A = this chain, B = another copy of it.
Amino acid sequence: MITYHDVARAYEVVQPVVHKTPLLCSRTLNGLTGNEVFFKAENFQRVGAFKIRGAYYKISSLTEEERRRGIVAHSSGNHAQGVALAAKLLGVRATVVMPKTSPSIKVRATKEYGAEVRFCEDSSDAREAMAQQLQREQGYIPVPPYDDDFILAGQGTVGIEVAQDFPSIEYLLVPVGGGGLIAGTAVAIKHVIPHVKVIGVETEPANDCYQSFRKREIVRIPPPKTIADGIRTQSVGQRTFELIMKYVDDMVTVKDEQVVEMMRFFLQRMKIVVEPTGAVAPAAVYHNVLGISGKRICAIISGGNVDPTLLKSLL
């Protein structure tokens, strides 16, 4: 299991490369919810999502020989872009397996960063199978989306920044797909601010981690149909689940419609573009799923890469 010191080491490596993203707030939202709310704006991160953190740390940790062989990753989108940019910055050849239903904006960006894109069916299983095949046949080094100590430590650097910028925080809400962001972030922030409550958020259709958390064992669900394309994973990982059970205080869910409403508020009131997955944790605050008031809350906006067609349909 990774510790705070792994995350701190990751931060030394990624800090010169990633943006320290701002914490944004809205008086209107504070008024509506009766809490003091900040959003960690990873939609302003390089590649438009937090994924560059883990990907850069993982690839920079490879040996010279491994780097020469090239890397392979599978992702519905943001991990793909993170890997593609990180590989480019570090001079490593990258191949990325993406489900054919990935938002075209994410596919295009991945290609623009110089990675080769290979398409597969839209399920965690299909992605993993194709990535493993490329690994065997081409000798590529895998850069997993979440269940890897370097990836986890890299994503956890979000938690270090939140702790720095919001030391009076009481609640941290984090979206959960494979669990990399919440596991890494929880490890980091609980070390610095032990009394903070870390809450995972999923959409109802993609509630595998919610179920796993309640059952205390990993539950695997069929490929979920949810607007939040970044959390269409079928289960969390072994490493992430252990950390979640140790450091996360609770799991909650929001409806897809609540995510859409949150996205609209971001666009029209706060003037920022947030992708569906990025609006999942904020939606839990906006709709006060926790039923709390007078609290100091941070919700992580995990990314901002929305397909223009989807954005259009919201307006």
A residues lining the B interface (CB < 8 Å): 22, 24, 27, 43-44, 46, 48, 105, 267-268, 270-274, 304, 308-309, 311-312, 315
| Interchain CB contact under 8 A, A271 and B268 | no
With a cutoff of 8 Å between Cβ atoms, the chain B residues found around residue A267 in the complex are 273, 311
9 smallest beta-carbon distances between A and B, as pairs: A271-B304, A271-B273, A308-B315, A312-B315, A43-B271, A312-B312, A311-B315, A267-B273, A272-B272
Q: Identify the closest chain B residue to A275 (Cβ).
A: B271
With a cutoff of 8 Å between Cβ atoms, the chain B residues found around residue A270 in the complex are 44
Distance in angstroms between the alpha carbons of A274 and B270 in the assembled complex: 11
| Interchain CB contact under 8 A, B315 and A268 | no
Identify 15 residue pairs between A and B in the complex whose beta-carbon atoms are under 8 Å apart, listed by A's number. A22-B22, A24-B44, A27-B46, A44-B270, A48-B271, A267-B273, A271-B272, A271-B273, A271-B274, A271-B304, A272-B272, A272-B273, A273-B273, A308-B315, A309-B315
Tell me how far the C-beta of A13 lies from the nearest C-beta in chain B, rounded to whole angstroms. Answer: 19
| Interchain CB contact under 8 A, A44 and B271 | yes
Tell me how far the C-beta of A25 lies from the nearest C-beta in chain B, rounded to whole angstroms. Answer: 9
| Interchain CB contact under 8 A, B268 and A308 | yes
Distance in angstroms between the alpha carbons of A10 and B308 in the assembled complex: 41
Tell me how far the C-beta of A299 lies from the nearest C-beta in chain B, rounded to whole angstroms. Answer: 16
Tell me how far the C-beta of A293 lies from the nearest C-beta in chain B, rounded to whole angstroms. Answer: 23
| Interchain CB contact under 8 A, A105 and B268 | yes
Tell me how far the C-beta of A241 lies from the nearest C-beta in chain B, rounded to whole angstroms. Answer: 31
Q: Which of A48, A270, A271, A308 has the most CB of B within 10 A?
A: A271
